[in-house]
Chain A
Amino acid sequence: MTVRIDVTAPDDPRGSSVVANAPLVGVAGLTACRVTRVHHVDGDLTDAELDRLCHEVLIDPVVDEAVIDGVTPARGRVVEVALMPGATDPDARELERAAVNLGLPDIRVVTARRYDLIGDLSDTDVATLTRRLLANDTIEISTEGELPAEFAGTAAADVRVDPVPLADLGDDDLLRLSKDRVLSLDLTEMQTIQGHFATEGRPPTDAELETLAQTWSEHCVHKTFRARINLTHTSSTGEVTVSFHDGLLPALREVTEELDPPWLRSAFVDDAGIVAFDDDVDIAFKVETHNHPSALEPFGGANTGVGGVVRDVIGVSARPIACTDVLCFGPADLPDHELPTGVLHPRRIRDGVVAGIGDYGNKLGLPTVNGAVLYDRGYVGNPLVYCGALGILPHGSHPTEPQVGDRIISLGGRVGRDGIHGATFSSAGMDASTVDHVGSAVQIGDPITEKGLIEVIERARDAQLYNAITDCGAGGFSSSVGEMGEDLGVDVDLSVVPLKYPGLQPWEIWISEAQERIVIAVPPANLDALQALCDAWDVEVTDLGRFTGDERLVVRHGATGVVDMPMSFLHDGIPRREMTAAWTDPAPTDVTAPVPTAEHVLQLLAHPNVASKEDIIRRYDHEVRGGTVVRPYVGPEADGPADAAVLKPLGTDGHKAVVLSNGICPSVGRHDPHAMALLAMDEAVRNLVAVGGDPDQVAVLDNFCWGDPTKSDRLGSLVRAVQGCTDGARTYRMPFISGKDSLFNEFDGEAIPGTLLISALGLVPDLRRAIDSAGMQPGDDLWLVGTHEGALGGSLASDVFGLGATQVPAPLDDPLPRYRAIHAAIRDGKITAAHDCSEGGVAVAVAEMAVAARLGVSVVVPVDGLDPFTALVNEAPGRLVLSAAREHRDLVEAFLGGFGRRLGEVTAGDDIVFRVPDNTDGDGIESLSLELIRIPLADAVAANTKGVVQ
């Protein structure tokens, strides 16, 4: 018997949120919306038992109204929305558990949401609201009116293993097979597989073909980053240089090996990079992307993006301690008619992604502390979601060698059809039909299950219960078990795998990317201890099989053979790609700079890429674990953006802290991807130095999001960016310790701007000396470190004011001495505030400091031979604005040496005043100067914190 229970909180703010958003999707007539939680309970309950379930669990007597065993009478147009059967549904699961708690008979539950839409609404309005605000048909079903309960299938186990005949297939047939099965393999790879099984004298099974597609996917094996590439580089004057690149990934690794600092623990070999925190503790750091899933189902995509990268950190035996996120979206105000078919509106993607990140990070109890949000038309079809995670582990505690005879143990979530083909799907471009083909690749996370993994792995590590560990991510078991058993060989039985619902074929179980799973290699003698630990922490344990020593991948389902291949073919059989790349430098343009006005500065301050993201950031817990020293927003009103995050890992001794920062400048990359890499690295370092980080112990991660690398211009830009990274690593003496590439970010043949994220991890020697951008006092001197640069290419000003500049600022040859000088001054306690000059140049940096501190400033901007506009807004690297007490002027001058010059002072006044030197009297601050711009502080606050220009 199935009973429906409707619960409504009349003042549920989710209803008002629908009303507030309706006009944004073109629906004017919605006046009210009531949200009802619908529960379908299937079970043998008496009326008294049902009553207990409702009143002791479901209904809050203070705020809820309920209809038990019936349907809420319609108050308006009714729309009901439910997750597709089988999707993760925590409310359903917890209600089932609550029944057990109460001693009731077993029940099965599915849930739904119901919206009563009240107002003057046409059929089209209801359809628009449903499609744009209430439901996402990638993962949900919806209808106007009542939605019947649909329980997940009860199909019998399906142990069918089908052979896939390849022997007679021609080239076209092979390519069609690759596309139809979403294998994302090219012709050479398909032919290699065909050849291998011709030698074996049998066709591959479906599972073997899928295993190869997962393991050989761009996502898992980084084909482009291992390819041999010929680059033709044409300069703006037409000079042509051809160069050969023997692998991009090897080039990045080579620099790290060359630099090899003593604090480097592990780079590129594992799920995350590892560096030393102190003698006893190491730090693990990883940044991933989850772009394609977030484009289709923003909440679930970002949600599982956080879950995935946190598992990368668990996968090196670390306890996760913080998250980061960098997000790139199309313009939030994109007109509807400019939205391509099959694409969600950037605003919806943003809101879903932000909610998804917050939900997962907050529920794991991890502070989300560093990030960025960029808006650009180039990301309309392909948003970018970079998720990072930081963890700590005792030095030397991460075991990496499975032994013959060890059991292959899977911990955590159950397997469903969700997340099938994630790895291969992310290795192809998207178009309007993508949803139909790969909807199953998208899923929703279950952070509480992952939280259990965090607790269990930390304890299992300390008790030395396992010999190796890996995250179960892209490619599912096929990748995790396949990689862990690469040297030894494995024998796995899929019939023991706990499923979310029956009916999965063996190949589906094998490659499912169902979330929240970790695989470990456990000596048989430790199994009982592991089981006891997992029972105590509510974590499910599955013994999949053993490490054999025969160097074969053997998978069965009970007695049925599923996969039997040599590990050597799986891991070394993939042919290396030969690729062609081309890059042409843009022709320089003549740029006419306007006469700068207050309006210019206010427009930059209010630009979505500069203005406060506080409404996003406050949805993330940045305080949990009690270690946050420098927060995302600083100053007396806690609304000035911080340059970087400083964290003291809970449980570590002393006053040493970790600093996290990032650099990203895709606008520069449009003109010069090589410079983009160097400028992004500079941005990451100067942000890190600005809060007190030591520039001599910085590790970086690369994250490349690019278009289709089989197109030579995309690949050309990618190769130039990698060259910039290797040059930058040497210049800044910063090793890359891990990285990630996400290619094929194209929609209908349009590529995103090649986007490199540099994430930096450093140390603050004494957190009591950490500073932020708002700590100055009236009367303090303001100092400028670094010199301007006339080139405005890639700058926010060129974009906002339509200057059409293509020449980008020159990267620095020798940046470390200036950063060491600043660091020494900060470490000595002489600097009260610091802020880096990035988007909007010195003008925005100074104004942001004033806004953050709610103080006036008066500065004389040195022009360095440039026109005043360019001097104010250029985005040359290597520049920071510092403040220091006037009494320390001589000391600060000594610390900064030739790198710093006095810029002006902090005032108790209400204005931000920019002056320029009177050129007839020289360039110094003490000389005559002319007032150029005066901005009331209140106007700057409104522009920067509210995005409003009066």
Chain B
Amino acid sequence: MSVPILIPHASGTNRDLEAAQAIELAGGKPTIAHVNELRSGAVKIADHAAILLPGGFSYGDALGAGGRLALELRTWFADELAAAAQAGRPMLGICNGFQVLVKAGLLPGPMGGPRSVTLTENAEGRFECRWVTLKVEPSCRSGWLGVVGGTTIRCPIAHGEGRVAVADDAVAARLEDGLVAFRYLADGARPTSDEPVAAGGAYPANPNGSVNDIAGICDDAGNVVGLMPHPEDHVLDWQRPSGPEGGSGLPLFEAFVAAAR
């Protein structure tokens, strides 16, 4: 029996269709539902084994990327989300979905506490689209993500507000304690060594100036994971451009669906 995965859509969401494709290829059963349908009860969060918040520009990213949808999640769906977290259901936010989870306080969490991590304007000051190489951090405490821990994923970024910023060094240290889920790697065209090399903050391998090359994080319990790049845009062989070798995003979605099963 395939696993029902909810893909919420707010006005301005736009990578929901690819996310649904990735979930299907990974063996899940995606349902795209507008936030209005969730609010009216036409579609219920509780009927789904996992939630994938997709990319896009929810509400045009007015007042800061993801902020408006984050507010709706907090004001309209706080109980349902708490229940899902309680039940250990995996939740994945990609790009705008990651921004929403961070702005809602779900990442790194806990929701309701003071927010110490944010996603803000890229250091280069502009929207940018390019392929990057990600390492799935083996030290990440997320159980479901651990299945693909240590692997690399090649996929595109497409964002203007993807720079992970933290309030202070203590917060950065807290993230390094198992909450960092993905890091940008240096992706020279002809790697001279087999060992993946961290981007070291250098543009464009770290495309947005994120602290410690962080591309994605998880919450304390490890169920909720978010990242800026788009693994859902590399789930088929022909989607990968020439250039550096790098893994497909599909195993990540397979791990996500498997954990929801």
| A635-B63 contact in complex given A13-B124, A98-B71, C-beta closer than 8 Å | no
| A362-B57 contact in complex given A98-B71, A635-B243, C-beta closer than 8 Å | yes
Query: B60 to A94, Cβ gap below 8 A?
Result: yes
Query: B121 to A12, Cβ gap below 8 A?
Result: yes
Q: Interface-forming stretch among B9-17, B84-92, B138-146, B214-222? A: B9-17
| A536-B71 contact in complex given A14-B125, A626-B233, C-beta closer than 8 Å | no
Query: B63 to A57, Cβ gap below 8 A?
Result: yes
CA of A635 to CA of B64 in the docked complex: distance in angstroms?
Answer: 35
**Chain B residues with Cβ under 8 A from A624's Cβ?**
14-15, 18, 55, 158, 233
CA of A825 to CA of B122 in the docked complex: distance in angstroms?
Answer: 44
CA of A519 to CA of B194 in the docked complex: distance in angstroms?
Answer: 58
Query: B118 to A854, Cβ gap below 8 A?
Result: no
Is B131 in the interface zone, CB < 8 Å from A?
yes
| A90-B125 contact in complex given A101-B72, A448-B11, A626-B232, C-beta closer than 8 Å | no
Q: Mark contacts of A97-139 with chain B using CB atoms, 8 A cut-off: 1 yes-contact digit, 0 otherwise.
A: 1100111000000000000000000000000000000000000
Among B60, B122, B189, the residue within 8 A (CB) of A637 is B189
CA of A625 to CA of B239 in the docked complex: distance in angstroms?
Answer: 11
Among A62, A363, A636, the residue within 8 A (CB) of B120 is A62
**Chain A residues with Cβ under 8 A from B130's Cβ?**
618, 638
**Chain A residues with Cβ under 8 A from B37's Cβ?**
536
Is A799 in the interface zone, CB < 8 Å from B?
no
Interface size on A, residues (CB 8 A): 64
Query: B129 to A621, Cβ gap below 8 A?
Result: yes
Q: Mark contacts of B238-261 with chain A using CB atoms, 8 A cut-off: 1 yes-contact digit, 0 otherwise.
A: 110111100000000000000000
CA of A61 to CA of B233 in the docked complex: distance in angstroms?
Answer: 32
Among B12, B36, B124, B235, the residue within 8 A (CB) of A536 is B36
**Chain A residues with Cβ under 8 A from B122's Cβ?**
13
Is B135 in the interface zone, CB < 8 Å from A?
no
Q: Interface-forming stretch among A246-254, A421-429, A768-776, A781-789? A: A768-776
Q: Which residue of A lies closest to B120 (CB)?
A: A63
Query: B243 to A9, Cβ gap below 8 A?
Result: no
Is A712 in the interface zone, CB < 8 Å from B?
no
CA of A356 to CA of B92 in the docked complex: distance in angstroms?
Answer: 31
A residues 39-61 in Cβ contact with B at 8 Å: 56-58, 60-61
| A619-B114 contact in complex given A9-B120, A62-B167, A536-B36, C-beta closer than 8 Å | no
Q: Which residue of A lies closest to B117 (CB)?
A: A62
CA of A848 to CA of B144 in the docked complex: distance in angstroms?
Answer: 45
CA of A619 to CA of B37 in the docked complex: distance in angstroms?
Answer: 33
Query: B238 to A767, Cβ gap below 8 A?
Result: yes
Question: What size tier do the contact residues of chain B reach?
Answer: 35 or more
**Chain A residues with Cβ under 8 A from B128's Cβ?**
618-619
| A61-B115 contact in complex given A624-B158, A854-B189, C-beta closer than 8 Å | yes
Is A420 in the interface zone, CB < 8 Å from B?
no
**Chain B residues with Cβ under 8 A from A140's Cβ?**
none
**Chain B residues with Cβ under 8 A from A178's Cβ?**
none
Q: Which residue of A lies closest to B167 (CB)?
A: A62
Query: A631 to B238, Cβ gap below 8 A?
Result: no
CA of A636 to CA of B246 in the docked complex: distance in angstroms?
Answer: 13
B residues 163-194 in Cβ contact with A at 8 Å: 165-167, 189-190
CA of A365 to CA of B159 in the docked complex: distance in angstroms?
Answer: 12
Is A634 in the interface zone, CB < 8 Å from B?
yes
Is A162 in the interface zone, CB < 8 Å from B?
no
**Chain B residues with Cβ under 8 A from A95's Cβ?**
62-63
How far in angstroms is the closest Cβ of chain B from A849?
Answer: 13
**Chain B residues with Cβ under 8 A from A61's Cβ?**
114-116, 118, 167
**Chain B residues with Cβ under 8 A from A626's Cβ?**
18, 21, 232-233, 235-236, 239
Among A13, A56, A452, A625, the residue within 8 A (CB) of B123 is A13
Query: A621 to B117, Cβ gap below 8 A?
Result: no
**Chain A residues with Cβ under 8 A from B190's Cβ?**
636
CA of A638 to CA of B246 in the docked complex: distance in angstroms?
Answer: 15
- Of B71, B238, B241, B243, chain A has the most CB atoms within 10 Å of the CB of B241
Is A461 in the interface zone, CB < 8 Å from B?
no
Query: B238 to A619, Cβ gap below 8 A?
Result: no
Q: Which residue of A lies closest to B129 (CB)?
A: A621
**Chain A residues with Cβ under 8 A from B18's Cβ?**
624-626, 650
A residues 754-785 in Cβ contact with B at 8 Å: 767-768, 772, 774-775
Is B126 in the interface zone, CB < 8 Å from A?
yes
Query: B239 to A363, Cβ gap below 8 A?
Result: no
Is B156 in the interface zone, CB < 8 Å from A?
yes
Q: Which residue of A lies closest to B54 (CB)?
A: A365
**Chain B residues with Cβ under 8 A from A538's Cβ?**
11, 34, 36
**Chain A residues with Cβ under 8 A from B68's Cβ?**
94, 97-98, 101
- Of A93, A448, A452, A635, chain B has the most CB atoms within 10 Å of the CB of A448
| A9-B158 contact in complex given A95-B63, A619-B128, C-beta closer than 8 Å | no
Is B162 in the interface zone, CB < 8 Å from A?
no
**Chain B residues with Cβ under 8 A from A362's Cβ?**
57, 127, 158
Q: Which residue of A lies closest to B18 (CB)?
A: A626
**Chain B residues with Cβ under 8 A from A170's Cβ?**
none
Q: Mark contacts of B34-74 with chain A using CB atoms, 8 A cut-off: 1 yes-contact digit, 0 otherwise.
A: 10110000100000000000011101111110011001101
How far in angstroms is the closest Cβ of chain A from B23?
Answer: 13
Is A620 in the interface zone, CB < 8 Å from B?
yes
Q: Mark contacts of A341-361 with chain B using CB atoms, 8 A cut-off: 1 yes-contact digit, 0 otherwise.
A: 000000000000000001000
Is A648 in the interface zone, CB < 8 Å from B?
yes
Q: Which residue of A lies closest to B190 (CB)?
A: A636
How far in angstroms is the closest Cβ of chain B from A785?
Answer: 23
CA of A623 to CA of B129 in the docked complex: distance in angstroms?
Answer: 8
How far in angstroms is the closest Cβ of chain A from B28?
Answer: 16
Query: B62 to A101, Cβ gap below 8 A?
Result: no
**Chain B residues with Cβ under 8 A from A637's Cβ?**
189, 243
Is A546 in the interface zone, CB < 8 Å from B?
no
Is A301 in the interface zone, CB < 8 Å from B?
no
How far in angstroms is the closest Cβ of chain B from A902?
Answer: 24
Q: Mark contacts of A381-415 with chain B using CB atoms, 8 A cut-off: 1 yes-contact digit, 0 otherwise.
A: 00000000000000000000000000000000000
Q: Which residue of A lies closest to B76 (CB)?
A: A101
Is A16 in the interface zone, CB < 8 Å from B?
yes
How far in angstroms is the closest Cβ of chain B from A622?
Answer: 6
CA of A362 to CA of B57 in the docked complex: distance in angstroms?
Answer: 8
Q: Which residue of B lies closest to A620 (CB)?
A: B129
A residues 544-580 in Cβ contact with B at 8 Å: none
Query: B63 to A58, Cβ gap below 8 A?
Result: yes
Is A91 in the interface zone, CB < 8 Å from B?
yes
Query: A56 to B129, Cβ gap below 8 A?
Result: no
CA of A95 to CA of B68 in the docked complex: distance in angstroms?
Answer: 9
| A629-B238 contact in complex given A56-B71, A61-B167, A95-B63, C-beta closer than 8 Å | yes
Query: B67 to A57, Cβ gap below 8 A?
Result: yes
Query: A94 to B123, Cβ gap below 8 A?
Result: no
CA of A772 to CA of B240 in the docked complex: distance in angstroms?
Answer: 13
Query: B156 to A537, Cβ gap below 8 A?
Result: no
- Of A58, A362, A622, A854, chain B has the most CB atoms within 10 Å of the CB of A362
Q: Which residue of B lies closest to A451 (CB)?
A: B12
**Chain B residues with Cβ under 8 A from A651's Cβ?**
17
Q: Mark contacts of A598-620 with chain B using CB atoms, 8 A cut-off: 1 yes-contact digit, 0 otherwise.
A: 00000000000000000000111
CA of A101 to CA of B10 in the docked complex: distance in angstroms?
Answer: 14
CA of A638 to CA of B17 in the docked complex: distance in angstroms?
Answer: 26
Query: A91 to B63, Cβ gap below 8 A?
Result: yes
Q: Mark contacts of B75-98 with chain A using CB atoms, 8 A cut-off: 1 yes-contact digit, 0 otherwise.
A: 110000000000000000000000
**Beyond A57-B63, A451-B12, A650-B21, 5 extra complex contacts between A and B, CB < 8 Å:** A63-B120, A93-B62, A101-B68, A535-B36, A636-B189
Q: List 8 A-B contacts (CB under 8 A).
A: A13-B125, A94-B63, A95-B62, A538-B36, A636-B244, A638-B130, A638-B243, A775-B242
- Those 8 A-B pairs whose CB atoms lie nearest each other, nearest first: A365-B14, A13-B125, A636-B189, A94-B62, A62-B118, A626-B18, A623-B156, A621-B158
Q: Write the residues of chain A forming the contact surface with B, with a CB cutoff of 8 angstroms.
A: 9, 12-14, 16-17, 56-58, 60-63, 90-91, 93-95, 97-98, 101-103, 358, 362-365, 446-448, 451-452, 535-538, 618-626, 628-629, 631, 634-638, 648, 650-651, 655, 767-768, 772, 774-775, 854
